[in-house]
Amino acid sequence: MALSNWDCLAFGPDAEPIQGVFQGFHEAYLKIYKNYILVADPKGYHEESSMTKPFIGKIIAGFGQIAGFHFVAEPMLEQNSIFIVAMTDHFEQATEKYSRRYFTGIGCDGFEDPSIRLAQAMGIDLEKWEPLTTGTLSTGGTISNRKYLLGCESKPGHGRKRYKDFTLPMEGNEHLETQYVGVTRDTWKDFKKWLKGVESARDFEMDQEWLAKILKAKPIRYNQGDSYIGTATNQEWCGTAPGKAGEPFLTAAFKKKDRK
C-alpha cells in the first residue's frame, strides 16, 4: 500500500499533463516514484546491481547529467516533496537535425499532517510538547481495536528532553484521521515559482515557450498507487486538479473492509 500514499503531477515535452515518466530519445527514461526519481537505462544496467532491471540509480536531490538526461531536482519540506525539471537532447546525423525534450513534475506525500488536531483531541499541551510522528496501534482487525498514536518531544524550557507516545481510541474519532489531499494548490504555486527560478539558479537552459505554456496550464495530479493499478489492469489514466484529490483506491478498499 506504500505507493498509494504518494501523489504526482507532471508535464511532458508538449507541456501537457502526463503520468510521471520521461522517455528519452533511446531506451532510457526517468520516473517520478514516491518523492524521488528513478533512472532507467536497459543498456546501462549491470547484472550485479542492487537495483531491479532496468533501473540504474535514483535522484534524491541535486543537478547534473545521467543516462543522457540533464536534470535539476530539489527536495521540499512542503508535503515532503521533490521538484524536478529535466531535459534530453539528440542529434540526428542523417538529417543534421537537433532535438530537445523537456519534462517537469512533483512527487509528494499525498496525506496531510493531522498531528495538531490529534494533539488537541488528546488534550496535549502544545506549549510543552512538539508532535513528531503519527501512526496507529492495532490489537485486532476492526476499528474498535485500533488507536491513534502521536509521538511527541518535550520542548526546551520544560526540563530534560523527553519523548512520549500519546494514544486515542480510533472508534468514535474517525473524523481525526489523516485526509488524502494529493498535490495541493499551495504546492502547485510553490512549484511554478521554483520552476521560473531554475534557469538562473542552476544555469539550466530552458525552452521559454515550453515554460510559458506550463505556467499557464491546467495541471492534473494523480495518486501513484492508483496509476500503478490502472496501468496493470489496462484502465484509462485519470486525475484531478490540485486540491481536488479523492481517496486512493486501496485506502477506500481497506476502509470498506474494516466496516464489515
- Cα–Cα dist 10/31, whole Å: 10
Q: Is the pLDDT of residue 223 over 80?
A: yes
Q: Is the pLDDT of residue 227 over 60?
A: yes
Say how many domains are in the chain. 2
97 and 64 fall within a common domain = yes
25 and 145 fall within a common domain = no
pLDDT for the residue numbered 103: 98
pLDDT for the residue numbered 96: 85
129: left (phi over 0), alpha (psi -120 to 50) or beta: beta
Domain that holds residue 204: 2-111+181-259
In the structure, what pLDDT confidence band is assigned to residue 156 with cuts at 50, 70 and 90?
A: very high
Task: Select from 158, 176, 194 the last residue of a domain.
Answer: 176
Three-state SS at 185: helix
pTM for the model stands at: 0.84
143 and 227 fall within a common domain = no
pLDDT tens-digit readout, 54-89: 999 999 999 999 999 999 999 999 999 999 999 999
In the structure, what pLDDT confidence band is assigned to residue 252 with cuts at 50, 70 and 90?
A: low
Q: Is the pLDDT higher at 252 or at 156?
A: 156
Task: Select from 176, 201, 224 the last residue of a domain.
Answer: 176
Share of the chain above pLDDT 90, in %: 71
Task: Select from 161, 176, 191 the last residue of a domain.
Answer: 176
pLDDT tens-digit readout, 82-123: 999 999 999 888 888 889 999 999 999 999 989 999 999 999
106 and 135 fall within a common domain = no
pLDDT for the residue numbered 254: 54
Angle (deg, nearest 10), helices 224-232 and 249-259: 90
127 and 13 fall within a common domain = no
In the structure, what pLDDT confidence band is assigned to residue 210 with cuts at 50, 70 and 90?
A: very high
pLDDT tens-digit readout, 136-152: 898 777 777 899 999 99
Separation in Å, CA 217 to CA 24, 73, 196, 213: 23, 21, 14, 6
pLDDT tens-digit readout, 173-190: 988 988 899 999 999 999
Q: Is the pLDDT of residue 235 over 80?
A: no
Q: Is the pLDDT of residue 234 over 80?
A: no
